[in-house]
Amino acid sequence: MSNTIKKIIAKNSEAERLDIFLSIHLKISRSQAQKLIAQKTILVNDELPKKAGDLIKLGDQITVGQKIDKIASISPKKTAVKKVSFKIKIIKKTPDYLVVEKPYGLLTHSTEKNEADSLANILAKKYPELKKVGEDKRRPGIVHRLDKEASGLLVVARNQKMFNHLKEQFKNRTVEKEYLALAHGQVAKDWDEIKFPIERSRQGERMSALPATHKGEANLSGKEAYTEFDVIKRFINFTLLKVKIHTGRMHQIRAHLLAYNHPLVSDPLYFQKKRKDKWDKICGRLFLHCTRLAFTDLDGQKQEFESALPADLEKFLLLLK
């Protein structure tokens, strides 16, 4: 590649890893792109990227070929990390509820740390009535959640009557949720169910899913958990699954598939240390997306919604063919 300084404006509305963006636009390998980033010859909106996996969004300006030490005007303040702006797609809006697509990397609601960025906070600013809905001020209108690392469909209640109605459906396990998930390895069975109980691990931030007996001892402390899956497609080293959950335990799909010996691609918590992570790095995000959601409204009518696989995950699947 020449030393000529080149500026590229991102035109894709879907967030994309910086190294993948550079490899596509400069027609170089990802390792070459990562080398350019490491050499500090890449700027994003006149700032140094933190890492090769930083996400590039619509309108970002990428400068290629200019050494950072030659830019005297950049101060520590100017090199601060740019705040990520999340785009939330509203699938359906009614007086009683919102159906939205949560993007990857966004918390459903804030935790004890009171994070400013969460789906709940963003929606509450746009729809102030949500602040009076629910049982927890940190979770206005939120009846169920998706992991920060996952993406896909969520229903949010706009009034307390709908909140209670949805809560009852989740309690009775009548809400239907389906996911697309890419697992490591070739899953042998075309269909199977996983019923390993789930409990919080000693590490605290993750859950453990163990068979009913583990090292000869019954797992009595774990909570009931039920996951069902169908194989959609097998690749050489991966399997695309349609997953249904019949219970709603924290990290259920991720913990269950790890215990099933087929962890999800790019899972930062539930992974096997012995497995090489080359493809996880290329994917750059957890391959888990809620594609279907169904529940009944206050009139007793079934409402069903679908969400296509995000463009970044579709692109990754193309690499496996």
| Residues forming the active site | 147
Per the listing, tokens 């194989």 go with 231
How far is the C-alpha of 95 from the C-alpha of 77, rounded, in Å? 44
In 3D, which of 86, 39, 88, 46 has the Cα closest to residue 63?
46
Sign of the Cα pseudo-torsion (122, 19, 51, 289, in order): positive
For residue 147 the two structure tokens come to: 């992991």
Nearest 5°: phi and psi at 90? -90, 115
Chain mean position to CA 296? 26
Q: How many CB atoms lie within 10 A of CB 243?
A: 23
Burial of 319 (0-12, 13-18, 19+ CB in 10 A): exposed
For residue 306 the two structure tokens come to: 């679908």
How far is the C-alpha of 288 from the C-alpha of 269, rounded, in Å? 13
